Amino acid sequence: MKDILIQGRYRVDRKVGKGGFGVVYSGTDLYNDNEVAIKLMESRNDPRELEEEAGTYRALAGKVGIPQVYWFGEEGSFYVLVLELLGPSLEDLFNYCGRRFSLKTILLIADQAISRIEHIHGHVLYRDIKPDNFLMGIGKQGNILYIIDFGLAREFSDDEQYRGYQGLPFGGTTRYASIKNHEGLEQSWGDDLESLGYMLLYFARGSLPWQGLKAEIDDEKRELVKQKKMTLSGEELCRDLLPTEFTEFAKYIDYTRSLRFGDKPDYGYLRTLFRNRFQSEGFKYDNVFDWTIKRYHETNGEIS
């Protein structure tokens, strides 16, 4: 079969996933033999979403955890975004580790994730925090947490008209959505951070209390999820978590939920919550995650 080439340089190799507004493939840069990620969207679709995503990556470039853009343009019947290739997502790694992360791994993830979100918030609201959109790097960047897929991201506006917006369509992922998102209110910085809190608790619990709720249609399901979230405080969400109480996580949830539209989060306070717990547990910043240990045992023929 003849190779599919982009700009005569980037070879499309195999499908690796589907992101917002496009299908993602792994590929090879034939100029230097480096691996790349290639996102394709058919030209018959509106190219603005992919073009805006490419622009967002470029605006965020230069900071740790943001994949590099190599090329964006039209090739044949597709719009194409060529990016730095990354490793597995946190959802993939969660499954690999038996759907439970240790406290140390969760705290390491939290520290990097808050920093990524703070940087993003200097430019846009992300609006779809979930494990699938956080990927680990590869090679020398293997311990760095990256964030991808800015298809739902948009600039924040503090204009008075946005403060009163109600009845907005739901956007993002139901499992991790903020309560304000469920209520049809305009989102702000705190909503991204609230979603991150649910993601961290998902890693600690193995699932969230609103998973598995049954409904005939999506709107009914989202309403059930919203009601469940609203009935559970941060403390109740963290109750009975092992190996120890997740006090910091409860404070995190309650703090992010308390932020009003336009309130600028104290990112330093949130990072410090988790860093203090990390230090009190005697953990070391050695970049040894749960999957690092599991891979080591497998590589050396040991049973983990």
Q: What is the CATH number of the domain that holds 125?
A: 1.10.510.10
Q: For 255-272, what is the mean pLDDT? A: 96
Say which amino acid occupies 62. Answer: G
pTM of the model: 0.93
Among 3, 92, 111, 128, the active-site one is 128
Q: For 30-38, what is the mean pLDDT? A: 96
Report the chain's mean pLDDT, rounded to a whole number. Answer: 91
228 is in an annotated binding site: no
Instruction: Give how many domains the chain has, as a whole number.
Output: 2
**What pLDDT is recorded for position 165?**
66
Indicate whether 218 and 79 sit together in one domain: no
Indicate whether 191 and 78 sit together in one domain: no
**What pLDDT is recorded for position 19?**
64
| Structural tokens at position 184 | 């049809």
Asked which of 134-143, 243-252, 288-297 is least confident by mean pLDDT, the reply is 243-252
**What pLDDT is recorded for position 162?**
57
Indicate whether 76 and 112 sit together in one domain: no
Residue 72 has pLDDT above 90, yes or no: yes
Q: For 95-120, what is the mean pLDDT? A: 97
Q: Quick one: what percent of the chain has pLDDT higher than 90?
A: 73
Range(s) of the domain holding residue 206: 90-291
Residue 161 has pLDDT above 60, yes or no: no
Asked which of 136-140, 191-195, 216-220 is least confident by mean pLDDT, the reply is 216-220
Q: For 68-90, what is the mean pLDDT? A: 95
**290 is a catalytic site residue:** no
Indicate whether 131 and 14 sit together in one domain: no
Indicate whether 131 and 18 sit together in one domain: no
Indicate whether 162 and 257 sit together in one domain: yes
Select from 62, 84, 106 the last residue of a domain: 84
What DSSP assignment string belongs to 113-142? Answer: HHHHHHHHHTT-B-----GGGEEE--GGGT
Residue 159 has pLDDT above 70, yes or no: no
**What pLDDT is recorded for position 299?**
87
Q: Which segment, 20-34, 38-52, 148-162, is predicted with the most confidence on average? A: 20-34
Select from 84, 106, 126 the last residue of a domain: 84
**What pLDDT is recorded for position 43?**
82
Beta bridge partners of residue 37, listed in sequence order: 26, 83
Q: For 119-135, what is the mean pLDDT? A: 97
Indicate whether 159 and 236 sit together in one domain: yes
